Chain A
Amino acid sequence: MADALHRLAALLPGDRLLTRPEQLAVYESDALTAFRTRPLAIAIPETTDEVVALVRFCHQERLPFVARGSGTSLSGGSLPVADGIVIALNRLTRILRLDPDQRIAVVQPGVVNTQVSLAAAPHRLHYAPDPSSALICTIGGNVAFNSGGAHCLKYGMTANHILGIKAVLPTGEVVEWGGPSRENIGPDWCGLFNGSEGLFGIALEITLQLLPKAECFHTVLAGYRTLEQAGDAVSAVVASGLLPGAIEIMDALALEAAVAAVHAEYPPGCEAVLIVELEGTREAVAADRGRLDAIIAASKPVEMRPARDAEERMAIWKGRKSAFSAVGRLSPDFIVQDGVVPRRRLGEALRRIGEMARETGLRVANVFHAGDGNLHPLILLDGRQPGALERSEALAGRILKLCIEMGGSITGEHGVGVEKLEYLPAMFNADEMDCMMRLRAAFDPLGIANPGKKFPRAKVVQCVPPAPLGVHPLGCGVAADTLKGGHPTPGQAGGTALL
């Protein structure tokens, strides 16, 4: 490996190839802090040509690589690998083109999510996907994990806003898919690349669709005695035929955290707070706001507070968006989960999560995109206590299995990463896993791109030769037993595991 690093040094100036332990330490973890792995080196390209050269080098040397933006992945998507390098894309921050007539932006992967909307704002345009980490997360990472946010019900996820991608594949091939048009010809390669968790390569230039900013909002916050009542209110809003831009719920523990962190103010004595936001032309919002208010009033809230102005609206969102990090004030550590259940089963799911938490003796705060059925249970723990992490992970696993049982998904927007490796095969059968492994092998025959994410790290997939026609084929791929286990867990993640 020392030889490979020596050859790597020829590609970048010394100050952009980090190998000293204290430099590597910074990159050992991402937002899934329970996992740490020290990589061989950190490469910091400044141009897309350098990224291509690095990937081609890795391919030639069979050197694993992990692309990283701001390291905000909650599923460990940018966790390094011990036998590979990290390609840090934070210096690729140029907005290459912003075309207000066509309503598109072409950006490099290191551009921070909110920077796009800031650049577009003078044209009354914005970039719709808004993960809670929008202030720091990068578009490259958003693409890799098909990030969501609070407005997915109406506007979809990242993939719905990506029109074109220029990428370097793990083979070193540079491809361009899609383009400035909102319509596509042929298979949707951009759609396939989105959410591939870095397994299909590194996006170099990304064409984003921008949307006109909504002219008007009507945001209502309502407090409820019980989570069930809040859930019923969501059902009533959905059944009304209104299409809100966002429907969010926070439970008592999340509220407590938001109060502590940003001094948010909520109606007292509530087990849940619901936020519903309408948006549209001023005429449309004026026509619909009365209906929404009536539906919420009929759902028997303790109190409802429609935002009277932009400032009150911002305060409501500040409390909601701060909830994740605010929970950090209630507990030394926490795990954020990301499951999806059919919306009509939200109440049931929350009740079961509450029961499981009580059984385990752990506290769970819930902040979620109720309109999408996308749950974010935050499991509070103190990692210094022996066994606490294991118990929390076991609870997280039970929650994910519950989501699958209910017909939902193990991830709505955070991705599988390293965190949910063992649950993907619970959602997809062996043939389906094999199909995905074949796809992965098509993009990355050497298995060097972000290995150990989405699928357990395994030997290179060897395809058996095609079976004779008409005969049921044996399929190909890794043996079934390598699909299970073998994923990094704290203590065996290739480095020291700490909280």
Chain B
Amino acid sequence: MAAPLTPESPAALADAVRAHPRVLAIGARTKPRLSQVPEDVTLVSTRALRGIVEYEPEEFTFTALAGTTVREIGEALAEKGQYLPFDPLWFEAGATLGGTVCAGVSGPGRFRFGGVRDFILGIRFVDGLGRLLRMGGKVVKNCAGFDLPKFFVGSLGRYGALAEVTFKVFPAPASRLTLKLPTTGAEAAAHVLTDAANSRWECEALDLLPDGQAVLLRLAGPAPALEPVSREILARWPGRVLSAAEADAAWSELRELRWTHPGGALVKVAITPATVPALATAAGSLDGTRVHISAGGNVAFLSLPPTVPPTALQERLRALNVPAVTLCGNAPLWCGARATPAITRAVKQALDPQNRFPSTED
């Protein structure tokens, strides 16, 4: 395959889309399965579409080109005491903002205030007709037009090529505290997740570690408030407060997906806390499969060793009736339960009538 094109402006991205009958925009390819498409598709990299276009800390908003890395964003926000509350994944690995939107992946912090979909405000994108369009807005509240920015979250670049995105941000909490609560078995862990999620504590993140041995619970807020809340939690369940260094290491391990099998499939599954035990059983039946449960039991990342046939996973996820998408490795793109009503094709046809972007099945 030829080296990807690297347009340097949104207009050049539109030119690139118009110049090729089949196109897919790619970012840093931290989720390579999403750009594993037929050979006749020309890949257009957003590598040179990089930089913050506007950042107004007092507005709680920024606009950046799609190829800007989430790390660059994170660092610019941190300088002003702000952050993206959904903890973008593959932060160190160079994930881009556009890729994060199109893949629809959020990190552990999405538990408290929501995920990518809850912070995206506006987009500029190139549609299948090669037009550079703006949808949504640049202010924190706006309901003019159709909410295509939200639709693009999880759209895998199949409906358009993202050039620019606008996000809402929040002031960063003054301090954080992480507790590690050992658990035995998925059932018990699911109870901890549910009870903590429904508590008065306002947890920022609530995850079951890939080894299945402990729940990691993060508190955020003014420093004097965290210690008494943590004591209350530790009176409820055994566990301990992690040191700052331990906590950083533990969250970084999850955020960077370092716990996954190199070369194996990585699948995102939308679940509920009630399905955690069944999912754990299903994963247990696939030798060596690791599961990270995040967002208080609302999402699971499954990592398969390269030896496990991906079809086996697909069968199990369909049996559980949970939807899933493969981010890395060699497994079917849509790996779980899935319905494709007629409107799916009609909207694809509306935004991309010439099928310039890969089909939603590729």
A positions within 8 Å CB-CB of B: 100-103, 123-125, 145-146, 148, 152-157, 159-160, 169, 171, 173, 175-176, 179-189, 191-192, 194-196, 212, 215, 235, 238-239, 241-243, 280-281, 283-284, 286-288, 340-344, 369, 372-374, 407-416, 420, 424, 427-429, 431-432, 435-436, 438-443, 454, 463, 466-467, 469-470, 472-473, 475
Residues of B close to A343: CB separation below 8 A: 58-60, 140
Q: Which A residues are in CB contact (< 8 Å) with B138?
A: 342, 407
**Smallest beta-carbon distance B172→chain A, Å:** 7
Out of A101, A194, A372, A427, which one reaches B140, CB within 8 Å? Answer: A372
A407 CA / B56 CA spacing, docked (Å): 13
24 contacts between A and B (CB under 8 A): A101-B274, A103-B197, A153-B60, A160-B117, A180-B272, A182-B299, A184-B104, A184-B117, A185-B269, A186-B155, A187-B154, A192-B151, A239-B57, A281-B229, A287-B225, A342-B138, A343-B140, A409-B139, A413-B141, A427-B145, A431-B131, A432-B135, A435-B148, A439-B347
Q: Report B115-153 residues with CB < 8 Å from chain A CB.
A: 115, 117-118, 127, 129-131, 133-135, 137-153
Decide if A101 touches B194 in the complex (CB within 8 Å): yes
- B249 an interface residue at 8 Å Cβ cutoff? no
A188 touches B104 (CB 8 A): yes
A194 to chain B, nearest CB (A): 6
Cβ contacts under 8 Å, B356 to chain A: 469
Closest B residue to A241 by beta carbon equals B171
* Nearest A-chain residue to B159, judged by Cβ: A187
- The yes or no answer to B76 lying at the interface (CB within 8 A) is no
Closest 4 pairs between A and B when the two form their complex, measured CB to CB: A191-B150, A283-B225, A287-B222, A185-B323
For B343, the chain A residues whose CB sits under 8 A away are 169, 171, 173, 175, 442-443
Q: A184-B154, A416-B144, A472-B130 are in contact. Are A288 and B222 (CB under 8 A)?
A: yes
A186, A414, A431, A469: which has the most chain B beta carbons within 10 Å? A186
CB-contact partner of A284 in B118, B141, B202, B298, under 8 A:
B202
Tell me if B288 counts as interface (CB < 8 A to partner A): no
Q: Are A466 and B353 in contact (CB under 8 A)?
A: yes
In the complex, are the beta carbons of A160 and B118 less than 8 A apart?
yes
Residues of B within 8 A of A416 (CB): 144-145
Q: Is A156 in contact with B171, judged by CB distance below 8 angstroms?
A: no
- Residues in A whose Cβ lies below 8 Å from that of B270: 179, 181, 183-185
Q: Are A243's CB and B171's CB within 8 A?
A: yes
Q: Please judge, given known A-B contacts A185-B324, A191-B153, whether A241 and B174 are in contact too, CB under 8 Å.
A: yes
Contact of B144 with A427 in the complex, beta carbons under 8 Å: yes
Contact A466 B354 (CB under 8 A): yes
1/0 contact trace for B316-350 toward A, CB 8 Å? 00000001110000000010101101110011011
Looking at the assembled complex, report how far the CB atom of A174 sits from the nearest CB atom of chain B, in whole angstroms. Answer: 8
A117 to chain B, nearest CB (A): 16
Q: Are A187 and B155 in contact (CB under 8 A)?
A: yes
- State which of A102, A235, A469 has its C-beta within 8 Å of the C-beta of B273: A102
Residues of B within 8 A of A189 (CB): 151
Q: Which of B20-50 contact A (CB under 8 A)?
A: 20-21
* CB within 8 Å for A191 and B295 given contacts A184-B270, A281-B225: no
- Complex CA distance for A155 and B113, rounded to whole angstroms: 7
Number of interface residues of B (CB under 8 A): 96
Known contacts A284-B221, A466-B354, A146 near B171 by CB under 8 Å: no
Min distance, Cβ A214 to any Cβ of chain B, angstroms:
8
Q: Does B268 contact A (CB under 8 A)?
A: yes
Question: Which chain B residue shows the least CB distance to A100?
Answer: B198
Encoded as 1 (CB less than 8 Å from any A CB) or 0, chain B from 176 to 219 comes to 00000000000000000010011111100000000000000000
B68 at the interface (CB under 8 A from A): no
Q: Which residues of A contact B113 (CB under 8 A)?
A: 154-155
* A-facing residues in B46-88 (Cβ within 8 Å): 56-60, 81
* B18 interface residue (CB < 8 Å to A): yes
The reply to whether A183 and B299 contact each other, CB–CB distance below 8 Å, is yes
Please state if A411 and B144 are interface contacts (CB–CB under 8 Å). Answer: yes
In the assembled complex, B259 has its CB within 8 A of some CB on chain A: no
Given contacts A235-B58, A435-B133, 16 further A-B contacts (CB under 8 A): A157-B143, A173-B342, A185-B270, A187-B154, A239-B57, A241-B172, A283-B226, A286-B224, A287-B224, A340-B142, A413-B141, A439-B350, A442-B350, A443-B343, A443-B346, A475-B129
